[in-house]
Amino acid sequence: MTKAHQKRVVVTGMGAITPLGNTLAEYWDGLMAGRNGIDTISLFDASRHDCRIAGEVRGFDPTLYMDRKDAKRMDRFAQFGVAASKQALADAQLTIDESNATDVGIIIGTGVGGLRVMEDQQEIYLSKGPDRCSPFMIPMMIANMAAGLTAIHTGAKGPNSCSVTACAAGSNAIGDAFRLVQHGYAKAMICGGTEAAITPLSVAGFAAARALSTRNDDPHHASRPFDKNRDGFVLGEGAGILILEELEFALARGARIYAEMVGYGLTCDAYHMTAPSPGGEGAARAIEGCLKDGGIAPDQVSYINAHGTSTPANDSTETAAIKRALGEENARRVPISSTKSMTGHLLGGSGGIEAIATVMAVAHDRIPPTINLEQPDPACDLDYVPHHSRACPVVVALSNSFGFGGHNVTLAFRKFVPGL
């Protein structure tokens, strides 16, 4: 399909369950205030673990979005996905009924799916035997259930899928949904990412790989992207869901439009299981591909929401990738921030909440900060909007997500101009 025949795609609703709050407004207000969402782990006894801190979702009540019986048959990651999806539909004022159900689809990504259920059932298997395992174990743990259960709870009967590309999963879900609307396979898509992997085994595994911060005595300052003294990422959890609609479908129903989605780039490093390719070569190609897809010149980029994990390898490599893709002069001009400094790293859920932060920056002309950036790494020498949010025009914004396995994704959003 030629560009001239592709549908225009707009963002009309968003929902967020995050360590900063369990609504879109709470999340955005937390970002703007530079509030920390990281603290000592309370979801399990982490006293034996090297890492004892995380960005937990607190005060979440699944029964606000589903009945108690349904909630008990869902892993936490699926509860988050259904809840954020219902929030997003309400925000978009999009009602799914018999007239449009087959036109509305769902793609919700996740990195690991129902890990807590799998761990709990393994304990039951070992202590009580195989006949005591739950008949709901498999449907609770498989990664596609956030998307499948969201369809059951909303009635959306259009294209339905699940991306499982590690920390790029949420962004892949949004990008793939964008393509479906752009090419006419759906008129609206519920899309984003969800994760609930703050579990004993998950924390132990990431710590064994030396990926996590061990700043246990100072959790509020543990996630410090681009800082010289960063020592690893902080695990987070939650969900971020966007409603993407074909422009004419949105206009016909009088929808409010936050921004237009205009570009999607995805590549693979084909280099290493966990380490990024030298110089950010793969990440740079994703950024370049996104710019090309959206017809965006490097000097038009107003803001970049960085992957910014607070790991030694990612932050310097992403800095190099941005310079490589935009050119040195443009890279030094554009404001960049990592909202993971406040939420921690939601793995497959990160692309969802970070796309929301990017869209809100476009809609409100305000850029979230990178908190805890006290001593910049000399290899990270760009404008990372330290400490405080910034008011400035945001016309075109990018959101980067990179995952284990070498997955690289960049999304582009533009300020919507009626009649353009």
Model confidence pLDDT, tens digit, residues 183-200: 999 999 999 999 999 999
Using only the alpha carbons of the chain, give its radius of gyration: 20
Other Cβ atoms less than 10 A from the Cβ of 335: the count is 21
Tens-digit pLDDT profile for residues 61-90: 999 999 999 999 999 999 999 999 999 999
- Which CATH architecture group holds 264-414? 3-Layer(aba) Sandwich (3.40)
Tens-digit pLDDT profile for residues 251-309: 999 999 999 999 999 999 999 998 899 999 999 999 999 999 999 999 999 999 999 99
**How big, in percent rounded to 5, are the helix, strand and coil portions of the chain?**
40, 20, 40
Quick check: do 10-252 and 264-414 share a fold? yes
- What is the CATH superfamily name and number for domain 10-252? Thiolase/Chalcone synthase (3.40.47.10)
* Positions marked catalytic: 167, 307, 345
* Residues whose CB is less than 8 angstroms from the CB of residue 169 and which lie 6 or more positions away in sequence, other chains included: 109, 110, 111, 163, 193, 347, 348, 351, 403
Other Cβ atoms less than 10 A from the Cβ of 295: the count is 12
Query: CA angle, corner 415, sides to 413 and 416, nearest 5?
Result: 110
Instruction: Count CA atoms within 13 Å of residue 225 on its CB side.
Output: 30
Q: Indicate the residue type of 359.
A: V
Average pLDDT, the chain: 97
Tens-digit pLDDT profile for residues 97-154: 999 999 999 999 999 999 999 999 999 999 999 999 999 999 999 999 999 999 999 9
Each domain of the chain, given as residue ranges in start order, spans: 10-252, 264-414
pLDDT of residue 418: 80
Other Cβ atoms less than 10 A from the Cβ of 254: the count is 7
